[in-house]
Structure 1
Amino acid sequence: MSTLKILLVDDEEKFVSALAQRLNLRGFEAEWAVSGAEAMAKASRTMFDLAILDVKMPRLGGVDLKRELGRITPSTRFIFFTGHGSEDEFKVCSAEASCYLVKPMPIDELVANIYRVMGLSPKGD
């Protein structure tokens, strides 16, 4: 199995950069962005297997960003996360992505969901 390329997008720079570092330490190839525009620029240069998107961000929120990224790379899979979710938001996000998490989430929970969404076992079997 090749290394999974993951794009993390959250407007909280300290959070998203630390999360990318933690995923890199676990063997993923994670890049991060703090805006939808930055994420779109990265996606135009690199094919990501998975994008993990904050639902609520200024200008371009996670659901709209997912739709834009899906146009660039239709094979990319998606996970949403949020710090303040509502029932309506959950319904919308659940229809748009394979997974919806509330942050902060334990890193082991995120990693388990990455493998699940990608249809892989943690050992790469």
Structure 2
Amino acid sequence: MSSEAMTVLLVDDEPDFLSVVARRLERRDITVRIAESGEEALAIVDTHPVDAVVLDVKMPGMDGIETLKRIKAAHPDIEVIMLTGHADLEVAISGMALGAFDYLLKPADIDELMFKLRDASRGRLRT
């Protein structure tokens, strides 16, 4: 089964998490960009095309909800999957009201993440 070319932006303030998830996605033929802050994520989506963003809710500085609002305002066609710990689940769900495509609990299962990314990519192609 071939995978469509997809570029994903991972946004999290934990470098170890970013490198592990990036490696796992790259093994599945996904092009990965990484950002360690909301500000860095906004700079990337403004200058590089991405199909989907996997965005941590809880980050220092600009949090995931504010980053989501700004991504959706500037790039409404980019699908965003919120990534959250159990304590922030309600925040992630409220992010869906602001335009997030879906959410995942940390630690994210890579197969579940791939399923949601493919789903998000298909939704983007229909619009």
Q: Same fold (TM over 0.5)?
A: yes
Amino acid at match of 2:66: D
Identical amino acids, percent of aligned pairs: 34
1:3 and 1:105 map into 2 onto residues whose CA distance is 22
Equivalent of residue 111 in structure 1, options 114, 120, 124: 114
Q: 2:85 aligns with which of 59, 83, 86?
A: 83
Cα offset, 1:116, TM superposition? 1.6
Distance (Å, rounded) in 2 between the aligned partners of 1:73 and 1:39: 12
Structure with the higher helix share, 1 or 2: 2
How far off its partner does 1:71 sit?
A: 2.8
SS of alignment partner, residue 14 of structure 1: helix
Distance in 2, matches of 1:3 and 1:87, equals 30
Count of aligned positions: 120
Deviation of the 1:18 alpha carbon = 1.6
| Structure 1 segments unaligned to the other structure (5+ residues) | 121-125
Q: In structure 2, what is the equivalent of residue 92 of structure 1?
A: 94
TM-score (norm 1): 0.85
Q: Cα RMSD between the aligned structures?
A: 1.8
Hey, what does 2:48 align to over in structure 1?
46
Distance in 2 separating the partners of 1:87 and 1:62? 12
The match for 2:39 is 37
Aligned residue type for 2:84: T
Q: TM-score, normalised by structure 2?
A: 0.84
Give the Å deviation of 1:87. Answer: 5.2
For structure 2, the residue ranges without an aligned partner over 5 or more in a row are none
